Amino acid sequence: MTSHVQGLYPWPFDGDLRPENTALIIIDMQIDFCGEGGWVHSRGSDLRNTRRPIEPLQNLLKVLRPAGYTIIHTREGHRPDLSDLPANKLWRSQQLNGNGIGAMGPLGRYLIRGEPNWDIIPELAPAEGEVVIDKPGKGAFMGTDLDTVLRTRGIRNLMIAGVTTDCCVQSTLRDANDRGFECLLLEDCCGAADHSYHEAQVEIFRLSNGLWGSIATSDDVIATLTGAAA
């Protein structure tokens, strides 16, 4: 029996949608990106933009978790001694207001592993047994064991969400596509520091006509999995 999520195209392409072969990856829903006192907040961004995925993700998780779907969370961050932080990335991070990676904020050093602000926001805290991938870069595959984790579990379909749409989300999705995974961008479960950046990235994916995967909303997924679309 085939099952599709209706979106840019019926996803997955072959209709093989099961808990055993499908995962949700939630990218970087950390205090540094989504919470007061975090890095994005220090740069003057409107946190409503990066917090917009919270409620739809909570609703989606209420369906996916009981059904046994794999849930994976990522956190971007660097070693306390910055030995894994390229000099040009550090320099770029300092250009807006001087609060670059590793600078001290009200909760701790920005984007440094182990600091309170580096952790995932309480609203989307990983459940017991859910995988957390700590990544040093934008894409979730670079420098991590994510590919091994997915293939060991037999995952071939990926629903991708989180922040930011224009940076870590799109980097992860494009890399996953090149690795042969069937990808779905969850439009309402993503956000960016500026909402126009989110809208532009979603439009780029839409205009690609399925080149990197499909686009849908959390409601589309829930409707498919609960039979509400019938």
What digits encode the pLDDT tens for the residues 50-63?
A: 999 999 999 999 99
Of 32, 34, 119, 135, the catalytic one is: 135
Q: State phi, psi for 108 to the nearest 5 degrees.
A: 150, -175
3-state secondary structure of 122: helix
Is the model's pTM score more than 0.75?
yes
Average pLDDT, whole number, for the chain?
A: 96
Is 168 a catalytic site residue? yes
Active site residue 34: no
Q: Among 34, 167, 168, 183, which one carries the catalytic annotation?
A: 168
How would residue 11 be classed by pLDDT, with cut points 50, 70 and 90?
A: very high
* Alpha-carbon distance values, 34 to 29, 101, 184 (Å): 6, 16, 22
Instruction: Fold for 22-226, please state it.
Output: Rossmann fold (3.40.50)
Residue 98, pLDDT above cutoff 80: no
pLDDT at 42: 92
Prior bond of 12 cis (ω within 30°): yes
- Predicted confidence band at 1 (pLDDT cuts at 50, 70, 90)? low
Task: Identify whether 135 is a catalytic site residue.
Answer: yes
In the prediction, which pLDDT does 230 show?
39
**What pLDDT does 228 receive?**
60
Does position 97 have pLDDT exceeding 90, yes or no?
no
d(CA 95, CA 98): 6
User: Looking at residues 155-165, what average pLDDT do you find?
Assistant: 99
Average pLDDT over residues 141-145: 98
Provide the pLDDT confidence category of residue 83 given band limits of 50, 70 and 90: very high
